[in-house]
Amino acid sequence: MNIIIVGQGAIGLLWYHHILQHIKSDVAYNKSQLHLLSSTHSLSTNLPVTHQAVNSTEADDTIQQYCFTDHNNDTHNGNIYFAKAKDIEQADVIFFCVKSFQILSALIKIVDNLKNNSAIILAHNGMGILSELPTGIEKNHAIYTLLTTHGCLRSAPFCITHTGVGSSDIGLLLGENNSTQQQSLTQLLNAALPHVNYHTQIKQKQWLKLAINCVINPLTAINNVDNGQINHTTYQDSINILLKEVIAVANAEGVQFDLQELKKTVEDVAYATAKNCSSMRCDVLAKRRTEIDYINGFIHRLGTKHNIATPENTKMWQTVTNLEYKN
């Protein structure tokens, strides 16, 4: 299996490291290749590259080193093998670990180089990407989504820390329902970084993650607090309104939630990640663009579509957007 990971942020390097270790340790995968492509580079860029399998012992001074600290605080060093056009053309799996607003531009740069029937996996926060994908892409490629609760923080370029162990869910969004491909992908990912579960009905899982993000991300970013602090009574009225609006919009889209169960899930996630800095808060503090357009902004747009008022989600969307402009 030839695998490309697009994106060198925390989640991209988290998966890169674990897939690399799996390829090295499992003889069934010893002819597999793993490469990384930065979402900001085009294929014509002269990136360093190796066309050897990742377990090659041959030295190559053009290969970038990375540093990975696991959840036990043990540090591991490894090599990043950068991709060029030849690697893209041979890829069986392309794994987009980038921000929601980066997916389309990153995909357009390589889509014409992809062979038919290669699998595209989208790993990002929020929803609304499908409507932006090139028309008819599902005729040649199966499009999957991967949702993960693993916590990971990038402290410097090519240096990440696995801050919290979680699980992942994968499911088909568009394209042919190929059970052999689905089993192969799930087996690879689950062996690399367990636990990964395949879902034939991934939409419910997508909406659940969206609901959680609609609460934790903007509240922590706007108030500059760690995840666990949103369980304070100060935020409970806002959380209730946010979730009621999400539930109303989700219902219009054919997805059902119970308010108390959903609120309990949000509280549990905030508690489990109490000391974490949410991705949106990190982006605001680092003066980077956030994914708010695909989180609370997505709820706002669907609310408008279905004539459902979403004032609290709209307020979160506008407030975080204003923070972006101030930065």
- Model confidence pLDDT, tens digit, residues 181-240: 999 999 999 999 999 999 999 999 999 999 999 999 999 999 999 999 999 999 999 999
Both structure tokens of 4: 């490309």
pLDDT tens-digit readout, 96-144: 999 999 999 999 999 999 999 999 999 999 999 999 999 999 999 999 9
Last-in-domain residue among 200, 223, 256: 200
Do 180 and 251 lie in one domain? The reply is no
Do 59 and 165 lie in one domain? The reply is yes
Range of the domain at 312: 204-326
Do 86 and 224 lie in one domain? The reply is no
Do 236 and 171 lie in one domain? The reply is no
Band (pLDDT 50/70/90 cuts) for residue 80 is very high
Q: Work out the average pLDDT over 280-291.
A: 94
| CATH code: domain of residue 282 | 1.10.1040.10
pLDDT tens-digit readout, 239-257: 999 999 999 999 999 999 9
Do 293 and 178 lie in one domain? The reply is no
Do 224 and 249 lie in one domain? The reply is yes
Last-in-domain residue among 148, 165, 200: 200
Do 64 and 100 lie in one domain? The reply is yes
Cα–Cα distance, 90 to 182 (Å, whole number): 19
Partner residues linked to 145 by β-bridges? 122, 171
Band (pLDDT 50/70/90 cuts) for residue 41 is low
DSSP state of 158: T
Do 40 and 58 lie in one domain? The reply is yes
| CATH code: domain of residue 48 | 3.40.50.720
| pLDDT exceeds cutoff 60 at 44 | no
Alpha helices by DSSP H, listed for the chain, are 10-25, 85-90, 100-110, 179-192, 202-223, 236-252, 259-272, 279-285, 296-306, 311-326
Q: Work out the average pLDDT over 22-28.
A: 92
Indicate the number of domains in the chain.
2
In 3-state terms the chain splits into helix, strand, coil percentages (rounded to 5) of 50, 20, 35
